[in-house]
Each structure stands twice: as C-alpha cells, then as structure tokens.
Amino acid sequence: MKAGFYPKMAVSGMRKNGRLYVPYIAACILMVAIYYIMHLLGFSDMLEGFSGAGTARDILKLGSAVIAVFGTIFLFYTQSTLIKGRLKEFGLYSVLGMNRKNLGKIIFFETLITWFVSVTAGLAIGIGLSKLAELGFRKMLGLESSYKFVISGQSISFTVLIYSIVFVLIFLNAARLVRFSRTINLINSDKAGEKPPKANWFVGILGLAILLTGYGIVLMIKTPLQALAMFFVAVILIIIGTYLVLIAGSVLLCRILQKNKRYYYKTNHFVSVSSMAYRMKRNGAGLASICILLTMVLVMMSSTSSLYVNREDVLQNHYPRQLNASASNYGYSESYTETAKRLEKEVIEKAHEFGADTTNDISLSCCSFSGYMENGRLRVDFDPFTMGTSINFDNVATVYFIDLEDYNRITGKNVVLGKGEVLAGVSGNIPVEDSIGIGDETFKVAKRIDARADDLKYIGLNEIVSTITLVVDDLGETASRYSGLKDSRGDTMLMWQWNFAFDTNLDEDKQAELGKILAKHIRDDLYPKEQDYFRVVCESRVEQRSDFVRTFGGLFYLGILLSIIFLVSCVLIIYYKQISEGFEDQARFGIMQKVGMTKENIKKSINSQMLTVFLIPIIFACVHLATVLPIIHKLLKLFGHNNMPLLLLSAGICVLVCGIFYAVIYKLTSNAYYKIVS
C-alpha cells in the first residue's frame, strides 16, 4: 500500500458518511469544550479569596469527573452505532481483498482524525467560551465580575489526556466489532434482525416487577435519612426496570396494535407498525436510554433550580436573626445556666460597644439526644452501629428538652405544669399519646403543641430524623437524669445547647464586621475562661449568605451543564435511531410506492410511527419524575429546603421546557427520516 493510502481511505469514508460523522464529531467537540470549562472553573485559582467559592469549585470538580465518565460511556454507545451502520461497507472492503488488519488501520485513522478535530476544535471553543462561562458562574454565585482572560495549561493538559484515553478505548472497541465479524455477516449486516421478534412475557413481567419495586421503595420512604440510604437502590431498580419494560413492552405494543384490525389496517398505520415490529426489540434499549436521559435532566433541573430559587428562605431558616451566637457541650452541669447568661450579657455589651442596638432577640437553652422509638417508648440505648440492618429509620428520633420558663417567654404564654407533666410537639412520624416514655422515665403529656410555631421551629431545624420537643418544668432537673447516658463507644449522648440570636440597626457590611468581632471575642476572650470544652461560635447571616448562594449556585450551574450534555446525548441517540431506521425502511417504502402508496400516505405513516415511538420515552420520564419527586423533596431537606410547592412548580416548568425541546427534535428528526425514505 502507498503511504497515505489508509488516511485517504479514512477521510473518504468519513466524507461519504458525513450524515453520521458530523453529529458525532459535533457532540465530541461539545463534550471536550464543556469538560475544559468545568475543569478550568473547578481547578484554577480564578475564584480564590471568595468566601464560599470553594464549595462551588468542589462541585464542579465532581462534575468534571461525571462528564468524563458519562462521555466515555456515551461516545462508546454512539461510536458502536456509527460503526454498525458501516459494517456493510467494511464487508465490501473485505471482499475486495482487505483483511482485518487493513480494516483496523482505516478505523485507526478515522478515530485519530476524529480525536484531533474534536480535541482541537473543542479546546478552541472551550477557551473561547470560558470567559463567558466564568462571568455566568460568577453572576450565579454573586461574585464581582473579572475581565481577566485565563487560559489554563493544566486544564488543557487534563482535557487532552482524558479524551486521548477515551478515544483509544473507542478505537479498541470499534476494531473489536470489525475483527470478530465474518465477511458474509458484514455484507448482510443491514438485513440482520429481519425475523419478527416474539414478545417475551417473562422479561416484560420481570421488568415491570423490578420497576414497581423501585417505585414502592420510593413511596415507602418517610424520612430524609431513609431517603439517603435507599435513593440509589431505588434509582438502579427503576433504570433496570425501564430497560426491561421498554425492550419487551415495545414488542408487545406492536403485537397489540397489529391485532387491532381497525387501527392496523389503515394506510398511515400499516407500514409504520409492521416496520416497528421488526426492530423494536433492539430499539427498545434506545428508547429506554432516551427515557433515562430525559428523567435525569428533569430531576437535576427541578431539584437544583428549586434549591437556587429558594436559597434565601433556606438561609432565613438556618439563621433567623442577623447575628447568631451559640454554645454547646456534651453532658449537663448546673453551671451551664450561668454560663449562658454570662455569654449573652457579654455578647450584648460587645455589640453595644460597636454601636449596635440589639433588637428582636431570642435566647434559648435545650438538651437533646437521639433514640429509637419502640412500643411508645424512646430507647436510649439506641446505637446505629450495633443495630445494623434492623433499623427502621421511621422510628429514629431526636428528643429536645426545653425549660417551661423559656417556652412561656418565647410564646408569650403563662402555662403551668404539674409534676411529671410535659408539653409535647412532634415533627415527623413518631406517634405520641397521653404519655411518652424516654428511657426509664415516663412523662404525662399535658398538652400537644406545635413544634414548628413561633421561634420553636428553629429547634432541631436541620435534623434529618423525626424530632420530639418536650417542654419540662425544670430543665436542669430533667437533664440530670440523662447526663450519664453513654453510647457503645463510651461517648456521652446528652448534648446541652444554647442559642442567642438578635437583629441590629446596622447595614450588611457592619453586620459582617460585628459578626467577626463577636466571634473573636467569645472565642479568644470568653472560651478560655471555661473549664469545660465548649464549642462557642458566632455567625452573621450576611457572611453565611455567600456560602449558601455559592453552594446552591454551584449545584444549579452543574445541573445546567450536565443537562446540556444529557440533552445533546439524547438528541444524538434520536438522530442515529432515525437515520438507521430510515435506511432500513427505504426499500420498504420504495416497494409501497410502486404498488400505489403516495408521498402523502408515506408522510402520514411516518408521523404515525414517529408519534408512537417518541411519546413513549417522554411519558415514562414524566411518570418517573412524578414518582421520585417525594424522595427528592426529602433529600432536599438535608440542605434545609422544605418547600414542596416550589419543587412542584420547578418540575412543571422543566417538564414544559423539556417537552417543547423534545417536540422540536421530533420534528427535525422526522423530517430527516422522511427525506431518506422518500
């Protein structure tokens, strides 16, 4: 062979199959560009020095790894589809005298050209758009704009390395497909699978059982902790079930439509249904892939957009006042009451020295520990490390004791309790009757209260399990009964907490400055005076806002970038599906035209086929989204987000936008299919 023969053959083959290669290379370029941008934002030092930006950068670092893994899997899938579409061509080369080694060389140069174009163009586009992406990222995180243009050598090197490895693996996979195929099979590859498949009831029923099991797990989850433990199990079951149901169910659907004579024996249905019946078994996996990608987009955008929009409410729940001071320690001592009073006095005096008025203040002490509710009594010997898989997370609860005096002061009431009586408020699924047992003690419930009313709602706000709030007549006396509780590791279970929060007449800059002064004061001046190892902190809402905005903004930005990748992947799967099916159906529609079928009939038949096939993934995706929204809501509680109406609104908007996008893709790809068959 002359020098340059194989590169020329590779270029010629790619040019002749431009309809297949152009979208594939465009997708590769997009993935390279987005990977470079995510790596640049995640690993460069352009965001150094900003509070909270580190969390957002960590999110993008994780996102760059996700893109690398997903890109590898998806490009493998796309390249396999592309090569299978050219097997007949390779078979003809083989008949003309080329052996498997020669074909491997052609594939090598095709892969090399694709790699070079993708990486070069992807880096050029990534570098060109990186500044725009950075400005958008800064805007979302609430950072000041910077117009310094940065080109990261590290990000370029990593991008080239990652996608070089990806394309080496792609080449090996493509060479394997050709190497282990016989020449006669290559030539007749376009006729493979012509036997009508049988509906596999076993696979269909198994898939439906797995899918319903995944749904059942989602619907049975009651607490965020349980959601965290079972979420990925449910997701894996739903994915497996979706693939099995669509692979077996799509064949069954065609059989049902064929048996419906009133539907089947119509011009616009007859050809489309009979064509689908032959290929649905292998295309069911494609429909399942489209469904899973659409579901991932809907779930990601619904959750991250809801978090980002609701960031201020989440911040307000975590920090109810402008300044928040707190102290905590394990165990209980009578001196804690005096310690809390002294800390409160010192904080107020220091704030006044700064020139701030303290208003709308709240001061509250409580004691807490966790247990396991069983037969109406909270077991205090609960230890998740020893209970293993026997834990029912619905029964895990944290009990908070607060003093009656504090309760009356906070609520403005004048409640009186008798000996052994408590006011009880429950948040979660723990049943509380006329009495409640906590360890060896039993308390009579004098009255049920709303544990989320007034400023009581900030007690146990961030708990991921059920909470029991008990108002007792004497906090010190009650806490002393449980101060000796130890877990299996010998650690004290009871925790004393004091919280003091207040508003000021200062602007935000001054609030942040005062917060830093108070934090330094209680840490350096007050903390060393304590004999016990207190954790004493002071935080301002202004300073924490940046961390909340940048964490949620980073998640939202990552959700947008990943959604773009998933949607592009979805488009490519649909496009290749339409192109490959168009070439398969070309001969069939040619025969039908010869026996009298008009182009108008062909178009109606195509629309019938497209509509039937395209509705399946989007309907399944919407069902999946509706099913998993409750578990998404519980997972968002881990971030402090508890706004279900907003999550539903975000999901509705995402479904609408995704539906419009999907309809546009349907229109474009159906036109491409029509041009081929007509």
Strand pairing category for 466-472 and 396-403: parallel
The confidence score (pLDDT) of residue 25 equals: 86
The confidence score (pLDDT) of residue 531 equals: 46
The confidence score (pLDDT) of residue 563 equals: 85
Determine the Cα angle at 104 with ends 102 and 105, to 5°.
Answer: 65
Nearest to 308 by CA among 557, 656, 655, 55: 557
Q: For 503-509, what is the mean pLDDT?
A: 87
Model pLDDT for residues 247-272, shown as the tens digit of each residue: 776 666 666 666 666 655 555 555 55
Model pLDDT for residues 541-571, shown as the tens digit of each residue: 888 887 777 778 778 887 888 888 888 878 8
Q: For 328-332, what is the mean pLDDT?
A: 84
Mean pLDDT of the chain: 77
The confidence score (pLDDT) of residue 123 equals: 92
Q: Residue 652 — very low, low, confident or very high, per pLDDT cuts 50/70/90?
A: very high
Q: Residue 530 — very low, low, confident or very high, per pLDDT cuts 50/70/90?
A: very low
The confidence score (pLDDT) of residue 317 equals: 79
Q: Are 393 and 428 in contact (CB under 8 A)?
A: no
The confidence score (pLDDT) of residue 653 equals: 93
**Cα dihedral 546, 547, 552, 558 in deg (nearest 10):** 100
Q: Which residues 6+ apart lie within 8 Å of 87 measured at CB? A: 177, 178, 181, 185, 186, 189, 190
**Residues composing the chain:** 678
Please state the separation of Cα 142 from the chain's center in Å.
Answer: 23
The pair of three-digit structure tokens given for residue 193, joined into one six-digit string: 């699978």
* 605 compared with 193, residue with greater pLDDT: 605
The confidence score (pLDDT) of residue 193 equals: 46
Model pLDDT for residues 190-221, shown as the tens digit of each residue: 554 444 455 567 777 888 888 889 888 888 87
Instruction: Report the DSSP beta bridge partners of residue 441.
Output: 438
Q: How far apart are CA 36 and CA 421, in angstroms?
A: 63
The pair of three-digit structure tokens given for residue 401, joined into one six-digit string: 């004791």
The burial of 355, by beta-carbon neighbours within 10 Å (0-12 exposed, 13-18 middle, 19 or more buried), is given as exposed
Prediction pTM value? 0.73
Nearest to 21 by CA among 576, 582, 665: 576
The confidence score (pLDDT) of residue 420 equals: 83
Q: Which residues 6+ apart lie within 8 Å of 331 measured at CB? A: 483, 492, 494, 496, 532
Residue with tokens 């997009």: 30
The confidence score (pLDDT) of residue 85 equals: 64
Q: How far apart are CA 427 and CA 459, in angstroms?
A: 11
